[in-house]
Structure 1
């Protein structure tokens, strides 16, 4: 795991010294919530509508980060360095997935309170624990699939088109499960914890796609 931590530290230092992904994702999220606030013509949303607004905003904010995930490796020869170094090449995949997970978490620390202020009718704090668990599992799905799709798309000239074309269909099962999990939490007088079956679906999705991405990334990097 040492190469993974080294590569992750490099990505975090780059983002700290020259912030690009996180500020853009935060700005996109808040702007989207403002547009929903005025576009829907209502001050409060709840239940399935609230879950849809929150998750769709997080999804498209994540696309911004996914598109830039491997830009530094492409521009500065990072792929060649990993291929030549005596390390497990999947360390690059793990570091990118972890970096994207952390970026999404930072974005949500700002975006979720903004969502609650601008759009949410019922208070989300009673169901905060369940919402944190759901968002953590969603972030895992976005990070694992996003890292794989970004590595596939970065060497093409249509990177900005390839990422949503491949990534969005793959993420549909996770988003459906996340929406079903969040809807009761964001409803007036709703549950304080999501249904166990939908949490299980999200966890199983993360496990299956994590193993699949880990298995194919080495061959993808060589090609």
Structure 2
């Protein structure tokens, strides 16, 4: 875990000294909610529509972060450094996935309140614990798949196209599960906790894709 923590610290320091990904993701989320606010012609949304607006916005904001996840390694020879270092190469994957998870969490600390102010009528705070658990599971899915797809795309000339083309189909099951879990929470007078089956589905997705990404990342780095 020590190489993972060193690589993670490097990514967090780079983002702190020259913020790029997190501000862009935050701005994209807020602007998208403003567009939905005026584009839908409604002051309030709830239920499935609210869940769809929130989660799709988070998904596309995550794409911005995924596209930039391996920029420093690609531009400054970081891949060669990891290949030559006497460490487990999957430490780079774990560091990138963790960094993306933290970036998404920071974005949601701003995006979720903005969404509640701009588009939600009833107060969502009673269902906040269930919403936080669902978003954490979705963030894990976005981070694991995003780190793998970003490593694949960074070696190509069309990385800005490869990430959505490859990543979005892989993330469809996670998005469906998160939307089904969030819809009752965001409904007027809805549930205070998501259905267990959707949380289990998200957890299983995270486990399967996490193990798959961990297994193939070493070979992907070699190529």
Q: How many angstroms apart in 1 are the aligned matches of 2:152 and 2:187?
A: 39
> 1: distance between equivalents of 2:121 and 2:12?
36
Tell me the residue number matched to 1:2. Answer: 2
Per the alignment, residue 74 of structure 1 pairs with: 74
Does structure 1 residue 11 correspond to structure 2 residue 20?
no
Q: Is 1:138 paired with 2:138?
A: yes
In structure 2, stretches of 5+ residues that fail to align are none
Distance (whole Å) between structure 1 residues aligned to residue 100 and residue 106 of structure 2: 10
Instruction: Deviation per CA, 1:120-149: give whole Å up to 9, x if none.
Output: 111110000000000000000000000000
TM-aligned CA deviation for residue 179 of structure 1: 0.3
Equivalent runs, 1:29-178 vs 2, <5 Å = 29-178=29-178
Aligned residues: 223
**Separation of aligned partners in 2, 1:77 and 1:131:** 40
2:186 equivalent to 1:182: no
Task: Output the CA distance in 1 between the equivalents of 2:169 and 2:155.
Answer: 21
Work out the CA distance in 2 between the residues paired with 1:120 and 1:152. 38
Which residue in 2 is equivalent to 1:27? 27
**Cα separation, 2, equivalents of 1:168 and 1:160:** 13
Task: Could you tell me which runs of 5 or more consecutive residues in structure 1 were left unpaired when the two chains were aligned.
Answer: none
* C-alpha distance in structure 1 between counterparts of 2:82 and 2:122, whole Å: 49
Specify the alignment match of 2:213 in structure 1: 213
TM-score normalized by the length of structure 2: 1.00
Question: What is the RMSD of the two structures over their aligned residues, measured on CA atoms?
Answer: 0.2
Runs of 4+ in 1 over 3 A off after TM superposition: none
